[in-house]
Amino acid sequence: MCYVVVGKAYVEGAVRDVSILVEGGVIKSLNAKPPEGCRVIQFSKRHLVLPGFVDIHVHFRDWGLAHKETLAGGARAALAGGVVAVMDMPNTRPHIRTAELFRKRLEEGAGLPVIYRLHMGVPQDLSELAKARPSTVKVYPEDVASFGWPHIEALLSECSRLGCTAVFHCEDPALFSGPSRPPEAEAKCADRAALYAKMGYRIHVTHVSLPYTVRALRGLATLDATPHHLFLSSDSCRAGGLCRVNPPLRPEEQRRELLSLFLRGYVDMYATDHAPHTLEEKLSQDPPPGICSLDVAASLLLRLWRDGLLGLDDAVRLYSHRPSSFAGVSTAIWPGRPANFAVFRLEEFAVSRQDFRGSCRFSPLEGLRAFGRAVAVAAKGALHLLESGEVVS
């Protein structure tokens, strides 16, 4: 029940040579002489051990949408990307709006090889919140359209009483016209979310797509941005239905400005909104919105480090430390902490279909330059050696 990972690691803000002794899934020491009988896994200088990445926005589907993705497939995608913990979204079929469904899903997620958390959906009957006690509730534009803002405000008040955070997909559906979702819909919702935050409600706005949203909410709410809004634009994405996503990709000039704000530390977290659909659906006349990126998200982020645009500490803060405290998970590489880390081989590559391990194996992010491939991931007491498929504990 022990193993030692030997190599370079990012520990408490610095890269140093370590021997991470893990016993029973817990880091015992960082400079151990391997005890008798412990498996030693040695990595070369071209590898780097990083705190495990944590993704607070994924869609693992399953249930009535298992043809798009399953819990097990989603977990494979996470491990492939060096992600040790995920927060799944409640827009499953059925949508998770009751304490009973919330618990059922958490029980199913508990069997996965990665740490599984779940955002609750907006309940029709708000007393479900006190029964489920979620740490977060996800508010979709569709919830606003069907329940109205007064219901969302009652939810904020109940959430505040219970100590939970409202996570907004921030687009005001009053400004949608047919399938078109103009930027004003996000801007209007951002203004409203800023007001709610000023009233003292704890708000997180996910997948910000406009520089305006970042400026309107900075310091009031926490924010995350996705790889697709940071790296793709409505001008550059040429893959038809594969580029369809909500909020939509924005023009190149706005994407650059969003990336610049992200690089300057104005966005709290990086999160994928990994949203699998089948290739057939994405190539159809009316493609559903959603982009897959969980398997390659960390590598796209680490490319910014490689290019000198982001510090390693910033990358770790954006995709590990901040989201890990949001999700209530520990990813620090430190004695006494659970072993939640990932080993990356430091090489450049262009994203391709071969990099995907979940059910969704295509993405408009294909072709982008990436840096660092996850080769081993420690999570929930096991070390997954991704290239041999071996699991060490």
User: Is the CB of residue 365 less than 8 Å from the CB of residue 296?
Assistant: yes
Q: Do the strands 47-51 and 53-58 form a parallel or antiparallel pair, or are they unpaired?
A: unpaired
Does 169 interact with ligand DOR (rule: CB under 6 A)? Answer: yes
Does 119 interact with ligand DOR (rule: CB under 6 A)? Answer: no
> Out of ligand DOR, Zn ion, none, which partner does residue 246 contact, by CB within 5 to 8 A per kind?
ligand DOR
Nearer to ligand DOR, 246 or 324 (CB): 246
By CB under 6 A, what part of segment 258-277 binds ligand DOR?
275
Does 91 interact with ligand DOR (rule: CB under 6 A)? Answer: yes
Stretch that binds Zn ion, among 23-31, 127-135, 221-229, 268-276 (CB under 5 A): 268-276
Nearer to ligand DOR, 344 or 362 (CB): 362
Nearest distance from residue 99's CB to Zn ion, in Å? Answer: 22
Residue position matching structure tokens 């071969």 = 354
Nearest distance from residue 137's CB to ligand DOR, in Å? Answer: 15
Cα(202)–Cα(223) distance, rounded to whole angstroms?
12
The pair of structure tokens assigned to 81 is: 């990307």
* Among 326, 317, 291, 386, residue whose Cα is nearest residue 136: 326
Nearest distance from residue 323's CB to Zn ion, in Å? Answer: 15
Report which secondary-structure segment, H or E, holds 255: helix 252-263
> Out of Zn ion, ligand DOR, none, which partner does residue 289 contact, by CB within 5 to 8 A per kind?
ligand DOR
CA distances from 272 to 81, 160, 177 (A): 11, 26, 26
User: Site for ligand DOR (CB under 6 A): how many residues?
Assistant: 9
CA angle 136, 300, 110 (to 5 degrees): 35
DSSP string, 186-215: HHHHHHHHHHHHHTT--EEEES---HHHHH
Residue from 246, 324, 331, 359 in contact with ligand DOR (CB under 6 A): 246
Report which secondary-structure segment, H or E, holds 154: helix 149-162
B/e letters for 223-249, b = 16+ CB within 10 Å, e = fewer, are bbbbbbbbbbbeeebebebbbbbbbbb
Stretch that binds Zn ion, among 119-127, 234-242, 271-279, 293-301 (CB under 5 A): 271-279
Does 273 interact with Zn ion (rule: CB under 5 A)? Answer: yes
Stretch that binds ligand DOR, among 109-117, 157-165, 286-294, 326-334 (CB under 6 A): 286-294
Nearer to ligand DOR, 59 or 306 (CB): 59
Cα(146)–Cα(104) distance, rounded to whole angstroms?
25
Nearer to ligand DOR, 296 or 376 (CB): 296
Nearer to ligand DOR, 105 or 169 (CB): 169
CA distances from 128 to 141, 220, 227 (A): 20, 27, 34
Nearer to ligand DOR, 70 or 91 (CB): 91
Which residues make Cβ contacts (< 8 Å) with residue 352, sequence separation at least 6? 366, 367
By CB under 6 A, what part of segment 54-73 binds ligand DOR?
59
Q: Annotated active-site positions, please?
A: 273
Q: What residues make contact with Zn ion under the rule CB under 5 A?
A: 273
Q: What residues make contact with ligand DOR under the rule CB under 6 A?
A: 59, 91, 169, 245-246, 275, 288-290
